[in-house]
Amino acid sequence: MTADSTVAGVLLAAGDSDRFGERNKLLATLDGEPLVRRAARTLTDAEIGPVAAVIDPESPTVGDALAGLDIAVVENPDTTAGQATSVRRGVAWARERADAVVFALGDMPRVAPESVDRLVGAYRDGRGSALAAGCEGRRGNPVLFDGRHFDALAAVEGDTGGRAVFENADDAAVVETGDPGVRVDVDTPGDLDGLR
């Protein structure tokens, strides 16, 4: 990692919404904007390189909700096999474009772009090759991975993201952001009501 390392952003936005009910939670609105678009703006408004969203091609309206943002859309037709398939798609996209990647979640609409900037700053300062945003000492999301972890991320399986890769990194660290949004996701309609 160097001070001029390129860091890409990947928004994982292909999951199902089992606990949310019949509608896709990523399309539920907060302050008049779909959750997925708010989460995408966290990355596009941060000081990073290219950004992509991994979506389920069976849910094209998620892609429609991102229209007008400077964001590539990567389709994952294997979403039923778990979140790891989206991580693999995101890594494949980022591998050709960046030295590191920040993974953010489409159901976390309150993460501040400055929290992504803090992760990137810590990475460029050499604080670690796997860095998670934290608040009050508790780990949250997004998470940044240096390219040395791309192969391990591409090998993850099941309904899991990069948690094991993060935990196995010998220089993993939590970066304090002071941002409670890094610990707030939306799984149920009640979660969303709590943000309003």
Q: What is the pLDDT of residues 163-178, one digit of tens each?
A: 999 999 999 999 999 9
Element containing residue 191 per DSSP (H, E): helix 189-195
Task: Report pLDDT digits (tens) over 23-50.
Answer: 789 999 999 999 999 999 999 999 999 9
Percent of the chain with pLDDT over 70: 94
Query: 7-195: which CATH topology?
Result: Spore Coat Polysaccharide Biosynthesis Protein SpsA; Chain A (3.90.550)
Closest to 75 in 3D by CA, of 18, 13, 25:
13
pTM beyond 0.85, yes or no: yes
Strand partners, 34: 29
What's the pLDDT at 59? 87
Strand partners, 53: 11, 73
- Chain mean pLDDT for the chain: 92
What's the pLDDT at 191? 78
What's the pLDDT at 53? 98
Band of pLDDT at residue 80, cut at 50, 70 and 90: confident
Instruction: Say which range, 25-29, 63-67, 140-144, 158-162, has the weakest mean pLDDT.
Output: 158-162
Q: How many CB atoms lie within 10 A of CB 173?
A: 17
Asked whether the predicted pLDDT for residue 11 surpasses 60, the reply is yes
| Mean pLDDT value across residues 111-139 | 97
What's the pLDDT at 2? 58
| Mean pLDDT value across residues 125-131 | 97
CA–CA distance, 101 with 118 (Å, rounded to integer)? 14
